[in-house]
């Protein structure tokens, strides 16, 4: 067995670090987003497969921010129409992910909770949702599409809010840093 000199140990250590970095880059390409059938360009994935070696990040549901503080409290006018609310919520989620070193392209699953819109005969405003959503997903800048469910709920916790969105994102697993728990 060869003698382990300080130089050999340093070379081995640097090789291990470089290999780990290459593996992390390879992992980013390992998330598989299965497109919808028949060449559909609808901006969601049929399924997303996340291999071993990724950490899962669960982001709590986000509600829209008020856009008109002069509007009656608890009114849709206070939060804006569905497109405005969707853009508000996804902008908040983008900021949360950024704090964690992630982006919108790291989202693998999204659940949208929608309330009926009284200005649309108490029906869901799905076109308004999509108008805001497509600013963030399936674009030239951010082509990754999450698996997504959209469900109707009787009401949301904030009167006047038309939707709440929660997401699950993934990132390559990092070894814990010493001294951090």
> What digits encode the pLDDT tens for the residues 24-42?
333 446 899 999 999 999 9
**Separation of alpha carbons 58 and 89, rounded Å:** 16
CB 112 within 8 A of CB 165: yes
* pTM listed for this prediction: 0.80
| Same domain? 78 vs 162 | yes
Task: Look up the domain containing 17 and give its range.
Answer: 1-30
- Neighbouring CB atoms inside 10 A of 88's CB total 21
Look at the chain and report how many structural domains it folds into: 2
Residues 20 and 106 in one domain: no
Domain at 143, CATH number = 3.30.1330.40
Residue 179 lies in a domain: no
Residues 4 and 41 in one domain: no
Give the chain's mean pLDDT.
Answer: 87
Task: Kindly state the tokens that stand for 96.
Answer: 């949360």
End-to-end CA distance of the chain: 38
Check whether residue 86 and residue 47 sit in a common domain.
yes
Residue 121 belongs to some domain of the structure: yes
* Tokens found for residue 21: 């970095």
Reply yes or no on whether the pLDDT at 181 is more than 60. no
- Residue 129, classed as helix, strand or coil, is helix
User: How many whole angstroms separate alpha carbon 164 and alpha carbon 115?
Assistant: 9
For residues 42 and 150, is the Cβ–Cβ distance under 8 A? no
Looking at the fold, whether 80 and 157 belong to one and the same domain comes out as yes
- How much is the pLDDT for 6? 52
Is 124 a domain residue?
Answer: yes
Least confident of 29-43, 90-104, 110-124, 153-167: 29-43
Task: Verify that 1 and 60 share a domain, yes or no.
Answer: no
Do 123 and 57 share a domain, yes or no? yes
pLDDT digits (tens, 9 = 90+) for 113-152: 999 999 999 999 999 999 999 999 999 999 999 999 999 9
């Amino acid at each position: 067995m060869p003698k382990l000199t300080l130089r050999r140990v340093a070379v081995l250590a640097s090789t291990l670090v470089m290999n780990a970095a290459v593996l992390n880059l390879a992992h980013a390409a390992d998330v598989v987003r299965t497109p919808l059938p028949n060449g559909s360009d609808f901006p969601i994935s049929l399924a997303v497969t996340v291999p071993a070696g990724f950490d899962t990040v669960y982001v709590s549901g986000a509600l829209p921010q008020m856009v008109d503080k002069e509007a009656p409290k608890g009114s849709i006018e206070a939060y804006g129409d569905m497109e405005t609310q969707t853009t508000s919520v996804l902008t908040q989620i983008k900021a949360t992910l950024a704090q964690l070193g992630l982006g919108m392209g790291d989202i693998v699953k999204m659940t949208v909770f929608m309330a009926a819109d009284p200005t649309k005969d108490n029906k869901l405003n799905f076109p308004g949702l999509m108008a805001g959503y497509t600013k963030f997903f399936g674009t030239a800048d951010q082509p990754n599409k999450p698996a997504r469910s959209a469900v109707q709920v009787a009401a949301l916790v904030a009167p006047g809010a038309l939707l709440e969105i929660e997401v699950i994102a993934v990132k390559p697993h990092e070894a814990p840093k010493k001294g951090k728990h």
